[in-house]
């Protein structure tokens, strides 16, 4: 097929840079319609795109707690997230040159300012770090709708509507601040 590591990186960067926001959808189609989503629909889209190019994929599901992941949520949002609840996270693996590599396109670049793991300058051929600290891990070809069942999570993990709205407003504000800062720095050059 002639795909290069650079081709693989280009696809990854396009999906990574779709804004991360909390949302109930897990599918690629809704992600593309709405223009934002969580880890699950972003990796569903990434899997679809890579599979269309003939790259074998499988999902990586890990359990985690918000309070143990890299990144700094504002103090007023922490009580909404730091609740000790074990939740699921979706990433992806690609089979390249006979070996599986981890790929995690969850957070878009502006969220790096808050300390979230955002992979930049990826070589397209080796594993990257996951954006959460995994408690358990499962690889499967089953799609993101099966994440919690595969991880053995049987308790309620959804955030309240109020929490989702407040967190998403903060994420949007963070992106806006980063955009204004970047424009100001470019104008100085």
Mean residue pLDDT of the chain comes to 93
Res. 136: pLDDT tops 80: yes
- Alpha-carbon separation of residue 22 from 26, 86, 164 (angstroms): 11, 16, 6
- What percent of the chain has pLDDT above 90? 85
- The answer to whether 88 touches 106, Cβ cutoff 8 Å, is no
Alpha carbons 83 and 150: distance in angstroms, whole number:
22
Q: Residue holding tokens 């074990």?
A: 86
**What is the reported pTM?**
0.92
Least Cα distance to 5 among 121, 140, 104 occurs for 121
Q: What is the pLDDT of residues 70-126, one digit of tens each?
A: 999 999 999 999 999 999 999 999 999 999 999 999 999 999 999 999 999 999 999
pLDDT attached to residue 108:
97
Q: Residue holding tokens 């599979």?
A: 51
169: Cβ contacts below 8 Å, ≥ 6 apart: none
pLDDT tier at 188, thresholds 50, 70, 90: confident
pLDDT attached to residue 184:
65
């Amino acid at each position: 097929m002639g795909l290069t590591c650079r081709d693989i990186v280009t696809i990854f960067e396009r999906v990574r840079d779709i804004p991360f926001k909390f949302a109930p959808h897990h599918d690629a189609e809704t992600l593309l319609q709405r223009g934002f989503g969580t880890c699950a629909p972003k990796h569903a889209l990434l899997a679809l795109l890579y599979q269309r190019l003939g790259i074998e994929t499988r999902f990586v599901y890990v359990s985690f707690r918000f309070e143990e992941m890299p990144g700094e949520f504002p103090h007023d949002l922490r009580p909404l997230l730091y609740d000790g609840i074990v939740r699921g996270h979706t990433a992806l693996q690609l089979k390249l040159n006979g070996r599986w590599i981890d790929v995690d396109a969850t957070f878009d670049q502006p969220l790096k300012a808050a300390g979230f793991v955002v992979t930049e300058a990826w070589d397209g051929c080796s594993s990257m770090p996951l954006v959460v600290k995994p408690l358990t891990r499962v690889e499967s070809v089953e799609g993101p709708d099966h994440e919690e069942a595969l991880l053995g999570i049987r308790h309620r993990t959804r955030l309240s509507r109020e929490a989702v709205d407040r967190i998403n407003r903060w994420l949007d504000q963070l992106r806006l601040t980063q955009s204004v800062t970047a424009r100001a720095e470019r104008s100085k050059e």
